[in-house]
A and B are shown apart, each in its own frame.
Chain A
Amino acid sequence: MQRFNHYQEEYYPSPLMHVWIEFKRSHIALAGFVILSIFIFIALFGDLIAPFDPSQQNTNAILLPPSWEPNGTIIHIFGTDSLGRDVFSRILYACQITFGVSILIVMVAAFVGVSLGVVAGLLSGLRSSIVNHLFDSIMAIPTLLIAIIIVAILGTGLSNAMLAITLALIPQFVHQTRTFVKTELQKDYVMLDKLDGASRRRIFFSSILPGMLELIVVQATLAISIAIIDISALGFLNLGATTGMTELGQMLSQSLDVAYVSPWLVTLPGLFIFLMVFSVNIVGEGLRSALRNRLKL
């Protein structure tokens, strides 16, 4: 509880707190936040809560239905796949890979992209124009195409798919940061710093960077949802995770062969990808409107 205050109207929450208060007002956003937290928990501790080894085969119990079906057992909550592996454990591991890898990718892409964007934003004249054009042309190449080229050069594999998606995400961060830095540089408070004799370094770190963090967070939620969809799409096309790994898109693609007898093997991984992206998007949307509302006040 806040300490007692006579002058309630003078209480101003910190910007971060303010965003959280705005965010909490939307129940849907809060629900999304809860689902997202579950996924974060799975990403961190999925291997600890999984009841089985995801690669443990059992040819005596293949294609068992999930526990809510009449023939299902409680031991295998989501049933088993065509090699008798426990689907629940596999999904936990797959979420760990899909979600964990996506966050990792976005972190790398954000770091590289923002650094490049700052440099591009501080540049001017011909150099700036060249850099901008270069990034525009890279942005035009669809993720899948970058992935195809990287796979063609380096061969299939999760790390190559990760590389491709990171490369595809970087230009968006560069673009956002560059535009932001450019517009901020023309604002009065920066001019004030300049007149005070602050160096460009100082202007950047003490004036521009704090305002940019929110932008990065919002852009990152968008990027995470793109990364999840892309990594599972590459897994689905057999251009990403290889057979030895468990990844949601690849699980889905491999289950297609038994789709008619065990439809849940296709439904479940798809549903988890959807839930993952959905929760990230809801939280992202909630954050955006919270930020917007805060700025309005």
Chain B
Amino acid sequence: MYKTSFRYLNLLFFTLLVLLTFSFFLPYLFPGDLISNMSGVTPATDAQRDALERSLKLDQSIFHQFGQYLKNIYEGEWGVNKVTFLSINSEVREFLPATIELVFYALVLAIFVGIPIGVLSGIKHHGIFDFTTVSFSIAGYSFPVFWLAMIFITVFCLQLGWLPTSGRIDLLYDIPTKTGFIMIDIALSDVDYKSQAYQNAISHLILPTLSVSIVTMAIFIRFVRRSMMDVMTKEYIVAAKSRGFSTAQIVFKHGLKNSLIPILPILALQVSTLITNVMIVETIFSWPGIGKWLIEAIYQQNYPAIRIGMLVVSVLVLVMTISIEFLTRLLDPNRENVEHATV
């Protein structure tokens, strides 16, 4: 147990170091002035430039620079956004929660809808239900997420007029940012229209969540179904059947756990696809998250923001991936090597 934890901490540390090193060298690769690429401040005078150089240790060896960079990252001195003149740290703290919120809802929806469907379809495979879900699942992960989002907007916003197209909440509701998670912020705020604000926030949430979730859900359904089919033919299941247990008993006692554990590594593999989709959906629904922020940074050639944004998003993905793998290991210590997708 300790050994496993240690191994995963080691893995996390090592990969973090690789990412940090990579992001450290990025400003050297970006076009333009090195100092403003690093700090986000365009020095106006020579004195200012010298001072900046000294504070970034550019006058010393590359190792000192790297050390200073690590120190700055650790202390939250992430530089200044070239366009808004705000500190990048405060911006990330504002936008990252919105992304995490969307990822969370999408994952919850994908898990709680995708897994039961996959299980049912795996038990009664080759039936009508199975055929429908398999078709849905293949179609689901063939949808380019941006097109799906646009179909949703056309149908639910423009034709039916049921749901809004953009943002996390109607801008007219002035909810102060405290945690960055809108649902929590509404609860913490002292506005006297909380229930309306909640209704409004939920109506904004539905379409982005659905767009991100459907692709992930489709993949879950497919893998759960396959895994369930494999498990249900195993000898211990046959043995249980012959002892006269009902299908429901068998599924809940043996089937579920054994078929869901192999799903976890696939979940881990899906995290990076999920984040890519979230970033695209954010730009379409103007969801004020880190993905939209990062894509706008690219349009504005805002290099300090790109550097930090890249680091933050990949750390988010990394932490999610490694914790899922760690969880898999805890649930099933016998697995020698965590396998990723299988044929």
Contacts and interface: CB of A to CB of B under 8 A. Distances in A.
A277 B135 CA distance: 14
B117 interface: no
The main secondary structure of chain B at its interface with chain A is: helix
Nearest to B298: A148
Chain A CB within 10 Å, residue with most, of B11, B19, B138 = B138
B15 interface: yes
B317 to A, nearest CB: 5
B58 interface: no
Contacts of B150: 266, 270
A115 interface: no
Contacts of A28: 135
A281 B142 CA distance: 7
A251 to B, nearest CB: 12
Contacts of B26: 149, 152-153
Contacts of B163: none
Interface size on A, as a range, is 35 or more
Interface in B149-186: 150-151, 154
A172 B273 CA distance: 13
Given A152-B298, A288-B343, A141 B144 contact: no
Given A133-B14, A152-B303, A153-B30, A229 B144 contact: yes
Contacts of A175: 340
Given A142-B317, A145-B310, A274-B147, A137 B142 contact: no
B286 interface: no
Interface in A271-290: 273-274, 277-278, 280-282, 285, 288
Contacts of B313: 142, 145
B142 A274 contact: yes
Interface stretch (B39-47, B198-206, B235-243, B274-282): B274-282
A178 to B, nearest CB: 10
Contacts of B144: 229, 232-233, 236, 249, 270, 273-274, 277
The main secondary structure of chain A at its interface with chain B is: helix
Contact of A153 (B15, B29, B143): B29
A143 B29 contact: no
B272 interface: yes
A237 B321 contact: no
Contacts of A218: 343
B110 interface: no
B339 interface: yes
Contacts of A282: 138
A252 interface: yes
A137 B306 CA distance: 19
A182 B338 CA distance: 13
Contacts of B51: none
B333 to A, nearest CB: 19
A144 interface: yes
Interface in B294-313: 294-295, 298-299, 301, 303, 306, 310, 313
A233 B272 contact: no
A179 interface: yes
B155 to A, nearest CB: 12
B318 A140 contact: yes
Contact of A278 (B139, B269, B291): B139
A39 to B, nearest CB: 13
Nearest to B134: A285
Interface string B122-147: 00000000000001001101111111
12 contacts: A28-B135, A133-B18, A140-B15, A145-B275, A152-B303, A153-B31, A176-B340, A176-B341, A179-B339, A232-B144, A282-B138, A285-B138
Interface of A: 28, 133-134, 136-137, 139-145, 148-149, 151-153, 172, 175-176, 179, 182, 215, 218, 225, 229-230, 232-233, 236-239, 249, 252, 263, 266, 270, 273-274, 277-278, 280-282, 285, 288, 291-292
